[in-house]
Amino acid sequence: MANDDASTEEILSGYQFVDLDRLALWRERIEAYAARSGLKGTVLLAAEGINFSLSGPAGALDDWLAWVEARLGCDAPIINRQAVGAAPFLRLKVRVRDEIVTFDARVRPTPESAGQALSPAAWNALLEREDLQLVDARNDYEYRIGTFEGAVNPDTASFTEFKDYCRDHLDPDRPVAMFCTGGVRCEKASAWLRNRGFPEVFQLHGGILGYIAATPTEDSRWRGECFVFDDRVSLDAALEPTGRVVCRGCRRPAEGLDPAGVPPISADGECRLCGELFDTARLGSLRERARQVRLARERGYAHLGPDAQS
């Protein structure tokens, strides 16, 4: 819900699957419009639709929604919106991609092909089913800092791996319920499952962020923090930043990092995930980057936060 004060800083994330063409031209027009409006964040464009996460004055975000409806035909985006104390983005990026969330370019979700979208209250009721397969559609590093009670961790490093988990572990004769941060990943995954003969597929409308915003704490089945792809890093049950940091190397939330997100000085010189993901040469580059970030912070310079992802 927009704040009555049009100057209040807010963050608005949303997506809509809608046929788009002339993507390079729209990238230029969106970049020019958003820059004039003082918006920062990320906009992803593909032939299948738009996915955005932007911050700016409340009035400018209202105008953005009206602009994409009038220009791109995005008349029913799934959105999450809240006031923020400080802008969680430091720049604007508008990108053209094959998909607005990378999964399977052959999948084009529609209201008929995707899973049944449930409100938070209906979601809570569904979770009472004993035969339910409740699956977190996010990646392992997201799952580990927070998830729903009883949810299974597919143990994926990227969303493209989620298909393999579904093939190997899900039973088409039992209902499947899935969730993600804002809903866009589940749109793709639920349509993919239904196309493969899963008759009962459910998804959480508006994702985790929508659920937390709408659900009283005493009724909530969510536990822990929700990872977000901006400078806030993770949010608590009140949708407030937790103070968690993200590693400047692997871009994932981790323990034991200083407030600049710099890996601690240790025997290995990096966070655990960096040690698992990168070779010696890359680790050396990350250590140098960490040194530069630390020096910049000491001198009062701002460095850009985590790369936005879909």
pLDDT surpassing 70 at residue 219: yes
The residues facing 45 across adjacent strands are 50, 96
- The pLDDT value given to residue 305: 46
Distance of CA 141 to the CA centre of its chain: 13
Mean pLDDT value across residues 281-303:
68
Closest CA to 61 of 52, 71, 51, 49: 52
Average pLDDT over every residue of 109-116 = 94
Least confident range of 236-240, 277-281, 294-298: 294-298
The C-alpha atoms of residue 257 and residue 95 are separated, in whole angstroms, by: 30
Q: What is the pLDDT of residues 224-233, one digit of tens each?
A: 999 999 889 8
Percent of the chain residues past pLDDT 90, beyond the cut: 71
Q: What is the chain's mean pLDDT, rounded?
A: 87
How does pLDDT run across 18-61, given as a tens digit for each residue?
A: 999 999 999 999 999 999 999 999 999 999 999 999 999 999 99
| Domains of the chain with CATH codes | 9-96 (3.30.70.100), 116-226 (3.40.250.10)
Tokens 């209201």 — which residue? 111
Confidence of residue 246 (pLDDT cuts 50, 70, 90): confident
CA–CA gap between residue 155 and residue 165 (Å, rounded): 8
Gyration radius of the chain's alpha carbons? 20
Question: Which residues are catalytically annotated?
Answer: 180
Check pLDDT > 90 for residue 281: no
Burial status of residue 86 (CB atoms within 10 A of its CB: 0-12, 13-18, 19 or more): exposed
Q: What is the pLDDT of residue 282?
A: 72
Nearest to 229 by CA among 103, 77, 101: 101
Q: Which residue has the tokens 């788009």?
A: 20
